[in-house]
Amino acid sequence: MKKGLIGKKIGMTQIFDETGKVIPVSVIEAGPCVVVQKKTVENDGYEAVQLGFGDATAKSLKKPLTGHFKKADVALKKTLKEFRLEDISALNVGDIVKADIFAEGDYVDVSGISKGKGFAGTIKRWNNSRIKETHGSGPVHRHAGSMGACSSPSRIYKGKGMPGHLGAEKVTIQNLTVVKVDAENNLIAVKGAIPGPKHGVVTVVNSVKKA
């Protein structure tokens, strides 16, 4: 059964399994999330639940969004995400979803915004090689070099790796194993690294292990 919630990346650490093997893990504060809205086939054409995460103040939210929470009679939340689940009959507006929906051994997909790195050249952004620094290359040894656009086609092909903005984009890491669940503190530890800077908001959705 598909399930998911919103969380916050706390950081990385390592834990030991029963054989003493070190496992690098990312720790996520998974919930608690509140059901803010329930979408149905009759009203919206599909079934989904909208979850809210992280306490907010009225001062930090727009008035329409404040009214949205008031209509649902739930506390103000910083982040809203929609999840299309297979069965939403058990969830109602105002219900709380916690980390205990996951169990050790589950596979999850984690999505978040990667760390922004600003403007970057082709070497850092696309792993291009450097130009040789001998025999008159001049001060351009980290430049992109020729684009190959002479009289034809007289333009840069779409998709050509060029300098530009790097990072700060949505990244999804699939099939991460849930190593540990701390239901009391709403924490889950997943094996490996996940996207986003420290304390960045992420979404966690269970997945089926791909071959």
Domain span at residue 109 reads 4-117+170-207
Rounded-to-integer distance, Cα 143 and Cα 83, Å: 44
Q: Does residue 211 have a pLDDT over 50?
A: no
pLDDT digits (tens, 9 = 90+) for 101-149: 898 988 999 999 998 999 999 999 999 988 877 777 778 888 887 777 6
β-strands 22-30, 4-16 pairing: antiparallel
Cα dihedral sign, 161-193-103-94: negative
Q: Does residue 210 have a pLDDT over 70?
A: no
Say whether pTM exceeds 0.85.
no
Q: Are residues 179 and 78 in the same domain?
A: yes
Contact between residue 198 and residue 42 where contact means Cβ atoms under 8 Å apart: no
Rounded-to-integer distance, Cα 58 and Cα 139, Å: 54
CATH number at residue 90: 2.40.30.10
Q: Are residues 161 and 189 in the same domain?
A: no
Number of domains in the chain: 2
pLDDT digits (tens, 9 = 90+) for 34-85: 999 999 888 888 889 999 998 889 899 999 999 999 999 999 999 999 998 8
Rounded-to-integer distance, Cα 56 and Cα 183, Å: 23
